[in-house]
Amino acid sequence: MYSYSLNNFQYNNYNTAKPVRATATENEMPVSKPSFTSNPVIKQVPYNAAFTASALRTQLVSDDEKNKYNTLIKIADKETRKNLNILLKSGILLNTDSNDKSATLDNLYLLATTQRAQGLDNAVLLHDTVQTLAQPHVVTQQFGNIPKQFMAKTVALGNGEDVNVEHSGTCPAASIEFNLAQKHPAEFARFANGLSSPEMSVKKTIKLSNLADNTLDAIWLLNAFEIPYKADNFNEAELTFAPDKNALVRAYFQTIDRDKQERSSIDVLMQSTFMNVGSQQSYNTLTDKRAGKFNQNPKGLIEFEKTFTESVVEDKNKISVTYQKIDENAKLVGYETDFNTMKKQIVEALNMGDNVIIGYTQTDNTNTIVNGHEITIIGAKTDKQGKMTFICHDTDDGQSKPVEYSEDFLLPKIHHAGLPQSVAEKEMNVKENWVEGLETYKELKKQYRNAA
């Protein structure tokens, strides 16, 4: 992972940006632009590990499967029945690419028929989860309003802080949620079931090698992020994922008073959990603020925190590659590599079946960064003139469909990209997450001492 001046650390929070436009004026384009060269080859049908980890099945075979499916059909509303049929025919419903090998169907059945956390509704949760699996682009980071009758109590729970969140900082968490729903449907359903259960938690066994090459370094990371875990050997650890204590309040509001384009109750629980993981268990869903040792800014997650969260949620070794050079005044002054290398790495990750979560920046006419945001690249295509267009999901654009950005527009804005380690290490010098984290922690402690 490329390191950059920690004086810029607070500027690497991707949270409240408005969606980027599909076209850009010349004065928005950063300095020292590398040239574009030939395009990498794009596979027409990217490999997806989730659908090769278990046999692709589109028919109910056992009596248990038929009984569970019929039970869901009886409970479901018209839209959910239609989406359940879509999930069955696409192979998503019987997919078993989850951490405990349970199928999407198994987890939806539990979600619909067993007790939920106080205030949550089985039918609403089933609708929201099935809709997200059938149409992952409905995932949004838009907070809902607080019903008037609950405002006073909510303000009290928030210790008097502002709880009317207009611009949320959950874009990294929402991007991870989208990725989980689109690429790992059985695991998404397992998380939905566990986080909405009375325990409001999910246990997941991960490979320590997906955090660091050395076991002790991986354990350092787990301890640094304060995520509850149990490690009985040098290879694996069982982590406990849970939202913050106030997530249930927001999830309840979205159960009884959800407007169009607002988060669902499942969005609330997922995003609160991933924000909690990334912020060292310090997130507050009511105020959309966090504390934690790695970040001085109370909103959003920084690059290192997002990468750790993405790695443990997917149990994959992700490396965040930083492309932009930013000085101590938050000014974009150049790039670590050329645009063709950026493009090549992103396309290689896509061809491996991975989505690529990127952090992009917006600059003013002096190239000073004024905003940042996280979106997910899910595909790419090349036109007859040889220009590439990236297909993306943006959790903050108010649309439940993909958006497209040309390479000329998007590549100059990419600050960092979360890539598989095998891709990141080919052409660039990278640092492991634990190294980045330790350096960050030491630097912040020094800044605190100097400020005291």
pLDDT digits (tens, 9 = 90+) for 360-405: 999 999 999 999 999 999 999 999 999 999 999 999 999 999 999 9
Residue whose tokens read 């090349």: 382
Q: How confident is the model at residue 36 (pLDDT cuts 50, 70, 90)?
A: very low
The closest of 250, 255, 218, 252 to 233, measured between CA atoms, is 218
| H-helix segments, 58-199 | 63-75, 78-90, 104-113, 122-134, 151-157, 171-183, 185-196
pLDDT of 349 reads: 96
Tell me the average pLDDT of the chain: 88
* One-letter amino acid of 340: N
pLDDT of 47 reads: 54
DSSP state, residue 199: T
Of 130-139, 222-231, 433-442, 443-452, least confident by mean pLDDT is 443-452
pLDDT of 43 reads: 74
Residue whose tokens read 């930013």: 326
For residue 46, pLDDT beyond 80: no
Q: How far apart are CA 143 and CA 258, in angstroms?
A: 10
Percent above pLDDT 70 for the chain: 84
Q: How confident is the model at residue 19 (pLDDT cuts 50, 70, 90)?
A: very low
The closest of 214, 278, 296 to 241, measured between CA atoms, is 278
pLDDT of 11 reads: 33
pLDDT of 52 reads: 60
pTM across the whole model: 0.89
pLDDT of 295 reads: 86
Q: How far apart are CA 301 and CA 275, in angstroms?
A: 7
pLDDT of 366 reads: 96
Measured at the alpha carbon of residue 303, what is the angle toward residues 1 and 221, in degrees to the nearest 5?
A: 75
pLDDT digits (tens, 9 = 90+) for 74-105: 999 999 999 999 999 999 999 999 999 999 99
pLDDT of 35 reads: 45
Residue whose tokens read 């649309």: 399
